Every structure is written in structure tokens, then in C-alpha cells.
Amino acid sequence: MSTHVRHPIWLPALKAADARTFASLYAVESFARATVSSVIPIQAYEILHNEQIVSILYTIVALLGLSVTLFMPLLIRRFARRWVYTAGACLLAIGSLFFVTHTLAGQLAGMLCRVMGASALSITLNLYIMDHIRKTDFMQAESLRMAWSMLAWTGGPTLGIFLYTRFGIYAAHGAVAVFALALLALFWTYRLGDNQSIRPGKTRPANPLANIGRFIAQPRLRLAWLIAFGRSCFWTTFFVYGPLFMVITGEGKLAGGLLVSAGNALLFMAIFWGKAGKRFGGRRTMTFAYFAMSAMLLAAGTVGASAPLLTGAFLLGGAFFTIALDALGSTAFMRSVRSYERAQMAAVYRTYLDFSELTPPLVYSVVLIFFGLGSVFVTLGLLAAVCGFVTWRYLPKSL
């Protein structure tokens, strides 16, 4: 028949997307971002020679990246998710080209590309997850995604520092480009963009300001944002000020990379935290994790430079409890957002990452005027305590 279309026999054989599909995509993406997570702050410090100015640089990048995140729904509506995801992976590779210039302008451009790429990848991947994973399975799916990324966040920072110190800047950032290309190949192999259920449809206009107002008007979405913001502030501080702390206290660049890798090695505990959340409830588990994280950070700030290795141990303790929030925190958003406005609300929700990269460096740049580097961890510990109280007070027991 003339209307009959004969499809290649291998197309129907491709498995439907499931939790492992998104875990594998996130794992490769994590390699692309983790490899230079310790290199970037050290490289910025080598260019600027001042930790306070490094904080200001991160603040500028976060401000610029925030606007991109808010306009992401417009890009998704105009170009479709698969192309926005593709652009995000390409931006990670393009950022590497700027970083290898080892100039202030190149550092700024590279960091901005990295932020924009991460924003595009995060928002689109979350939309795919919400389309393919049932709400009752979000907790298990998210803990699996975190666990699969463990290898990347464990070996990536040390690998990046090793390549940077042993073979130079081109080797470290060249590895990022390789992982970004591998991510593109894997994404297009899965052909998520061909799924009719995730193609852009006729939804409400994606006005960024209207989206913000709509998001703020929903208490559970506000709470989900705060939970994500608090734990993301820890990782921003850990990735940036952990390596800086080791360098400034004389432990060396490799110690900074090992600290970050050791913290990320704990990501395999995401499976444990997922089971704990299922048994004891998300509210109890996340509240406990926040208060325990706060205690570790306050201890790290109190010890400070007097015993750098002990301070590093307390930071690792904080990382252990933060992983509980990584594994369980996003379920508060995924189970609260309405299906017809997922793209718009996901973009606003994603601003927690931009604000967590913007607010801590801005606050720390002021705190560091009066106190030593340990004050950074004390400040973060106080924020964690506030987030823990709000989570215990307002998160529904049924979550």
C-alpha cells in the first residue's frame, strides 16, 4: 500500500526509557562536569591570586547564568527538548576551549558556558524523567541516578587535577570535550526526542516573570526549592572552597582534588538513603540529614586552619549527609508539580542551582573580610540548620 511505511527493524527493538536510561545519561554528564570541578577554582585562584575575588567571579557567573535558566522554557518551546539537551552538551565542550586560554576573559566565558550547559542538561533531563518515571518510583529512580554518578564524581576531580598538574591545561579540559561528545552519542542513541509524549505541546505561554509568580504561589514548590537550595549550597562550597582551603593551608592541589573525590565517593550511599527514605519517610530522613550536616559544618568551621586534615574529615561527614538530600530532595518537586506546567516550573525550580552558585560566594566575600576561611563553613552550617527546621516543620509527613 502506498500509505504503508516500512520502518527499520531495529527501531522497535530499542527498550523504553526507564530509570537506568536516565542514570546512564547523568553518569556520563557527571564525568563531563566533575573532571574539572576541582581544576576550575584552582585555575581561577592562579589567575586572580585572591580567594575573595574568586568569590566575586563566581557571583558574576551565577548572575549571568540565572537569566539563561529562567528563559529555558522559551528555548524548549521553540527548539524542542532534544535540541536544548544537545546544545547543553555542546556548551560543556565549548567551555573547554575558553578555559585553555588561561586568561580572566577565558575563565569567565568558560565558566558561563559551563553554567548554561549544566542548566540546559538539568532541566531537560528532569522533564524526561517526569515523563517516563511514575511518581511512586521517583525516590528509587533518583537514588539510582545519584549512585550511578558516583564513579564520575569520585574519580573525576582527582583525574582532572592529575591531568592538570601532570600534563597541563589542555589535557584536563580536553577530557571534558571527550565526555561531552560521548554524552551526545549516548543521548541520540536513546532517541528520547522521538517519543511523541515528550514533544512540545500547546501549553501556557512561558513568560519567565509569570512563571516565577506561579511558582512562588505554590507552597510545596517553594519548600522543594529551599530543600534543593540548601543542599546545593553545600556542594558549591565543597567544590570551590574545599580545594581552596587545602591549597591555602599548605596541603596542596592534589589534596584538594582528593578531598572532593572522597566526598563524591560517598555517592554510592544514595541507594542506602533511598531505602532509608522509603522506610522512615522522606520528611524524617531529610530533616535528620540537614541537622547532621549542620553539625559537621559547624565543627569544620571551628577547627578551621588549625588542623586542615581534621577539617577535611568534618567536610566529608557533611557530604555523607548531603547525599541523603541529593537522593530524596528532588522528589518533593517531582511529586508536587502539575503535569501541564512542568517545563515552566522546572525552569524556575532549577534556579536553586544558580542561586546556590550566586549566594554563597556573595555572602562569603563579605564574611571573609572579617573572619578566616573557616567562617565559610560556619555560615553554611547555620543555613543548613534553618533548612532542617523548615523541612521538619512544613514538609508533608506523607512524602
**pLDDT tens string 110-130:** 999 998 898 889 888 888 887
Distance CA 85, CA 82 (A): 5
CA atoms within 13 A on the CB side of 117: 26
CB 156 within 8 A of CB 37: yes
Q: Is the entire prediction scored with pTM above 0.75?
A: no
pLDDT at 3 (0 to 100): 45
Distance CA 316, CA 380 (A): 14
Q: Which residue has the higher pLDDT, 303 or 15?
A: 303
pLDDT at 298 (0 to 100): 95
Q: How far apart are the first and last CA of the chain?
A: 53
- Please report the sign of the dihedral spanned by the C-alpha atoms of residue 189, residue 190, residue 196, residue 199: negative
Distance CA 192, CA 180 (A): 17
- Please report the sign of the dihedral spanned by the C-alpha atoms of residue 355, residue 361, residue 365, residue 368: positive
In this prediction, residues 129-156 reach a mean pLDDT of 75
Cα Rg of the chain, angstroms: 21
Which domains are present in the chain?
A: 15-192 (1.20.1250.20), 209-398 (1.20.1250.20)
Q: Which single residue is written with the C-alpha cell 519517610?
A: 281
In 3-state terms, what secondary structure has residue 10?
coil
With vertex at residue 266, the alpha carbon angle to CA 305 and CA 25, rounded to the nearest 5 degrees, is 125
Evaluate if residue 72 carries a pLDDT over 90. no
In this prediction, residues 310-332 reach a mean pLDDT of 89
Q: Which of 93-107, 162-176, 268-282, 378-392 has the lowest mean pLDDT?
A: 268-282
Q: Which residue has the higher pLDDT, 16 or 228?
A: 228
In this prediction, residues 137-144 reach a mean pLDDT of 71
Distance CA 268, CA 288 (A): 19
**pLDDT tens string 209-218:** 778 888 888 8
- C-alpha cell of residue 136: 511512586
pLDDT at 7 (0 to 100): 42
> How sure is the predictor about 234, in pLDDT bands with cuts at 50, 70 and 90?
very high
Evaluate if residue 197 carries a pLDDT over 50. no
Q: Which residue has the higher pLDDT, 385 or 152?
A: 385
* C-alpha closest to that of 69 among 208, 228, 222, 203: 208
> 63-67, 204-208, 218-222 — which one is most confidently predicted on average?
218-222
CB 315 within 8 A of CB 242: yes
**pLDDT tens string 267-302:** 778 778 888 887 888 889 999 999 999 999 999 999
Distance CA 102, CA 110 (A): 10
H/E segment holding residue 222: helix 219-248
As a whole-number percent, the residues of the chain with pLDDT over 70 amount to 90
- C-alpha cell of residue 52: 575573595
Residue-averaged pLDDT of the chain: 82
**pLDDT tens string 332-387:** 887 778 877 777 788 788 888 778 877 887 888 788 888 888 889 999 999 999 99
